[in-house]
Amino acid sequence: MSLRLYIDPAVATLAAGAAFALPEIAARHVQVRRAQPGDALVLFDGQGREARAVVQAMGRRDVTVQVESVAAADRELPLAVTLAVGMPANERMDALVEKLTELGMSALQPLACERSVLRLQGERSLRRSAHWQAVAVAAAEQCGRAQVPQIATPCDLDAWLAALARSGSASGAQPQRGPAAASVPRARWLLSLDPGALAPAAALASCGGARSLLVLSGPEGGLTLAERAAARAAGFVDVSLGPRVLRADTAPLALLAWLGVALSAG
């Protein structure tokens, strides 16, 4: 199988016949694989374009490639799904970003909630967001996606809900580019243990003409009563994944896996 590499459109444009030096991280991957001139590569721009390319020249640090052909590659879910997630602590957030990318997430909004263990501010928040974006890129390279989910800068749940209400848009704190600005109308689900919550199948059937979905999932300890009430006031409907209490890094994965199967079957 050919090595797949992400090429940021700001660095190079994928066009048939174009030749350019790979960015540092991508070049390192090629060198580690001990590729030789003439070896095939697959390049993608994170926005749905995929290119067949060959290694043109290998240097001690630089790798030059030439694009042979470019085509659109659609391996996305038919419904664009943005997850707004109360951040789990430690390495669990890294794993969550990786697996959500593999399962087809369009964008992720990390949130700090009243019961959150992990809280990020200032420069540390920006560094973690950039780190998680790199995790998403690596996961997209591995799983064959031609689009890369966009990871927004972490923010407080109350501020995010307030921005959501003010803007009336698909998401309050927008990720940086690409699939972040998913098409409206958008359905809004709140993962919940409430006895009156809808089952995912019923919630999906009630989405009507929605072309995208925004899902809010709580942190360790769950959302408080006030946070759940604020989410409902912002248009979120309760959706249940069953009677068991799932971890903060389990519930979003369970829902996205179910959506992938349900949407494929439909």
User: Which residue range(s) make up the domain with 142?
Assistant: 80-265
Residues 219 and 241 placed together within one structural domain of the fold: yes
Residues 59 and 126 placed together within one structural domain of the fold: no
Supply the pTM of this predicted model. Answer: 0.88
Stretches where the chain sits below pLDDT 70 are 1, 168-185, 266
- SS3 for the chain, per residue? CCEEEECCCCCCCCCCCCEEECCHHHHHHHHHCCCCCCCEEEEECEECEEEEEEEEEECCCCEEEEEEEEEECCCCCCCEEEEEEECCCCCHHHHHHHHHHHHCCCEEEEEECCCCCCCCCHHHHHHHHHHHHHHHHHHHHHHCCCECCEECCCEEHHHHHHHHHHHCCCCCCCCCCHHHCCCCCEEEEEECCCCCCECHHHHHHCCCCCCEEEEEECCCCCCCHHHHHHHHHCCCEEECCCCCCCCCCCHHHHHHHHHHHHHHHC
**Last residue in a domain, options 72, 102, 119:** 72
Tell me the pLDDT tens digit for each residue of 183-202.
345 899 999 999 999 999 99
Tell me the pLDDT tens digit for each residue of 224-245.
999 999 999 999 999 999 999 9
**Last residue in a domain, options 41, 72, 103:** 72
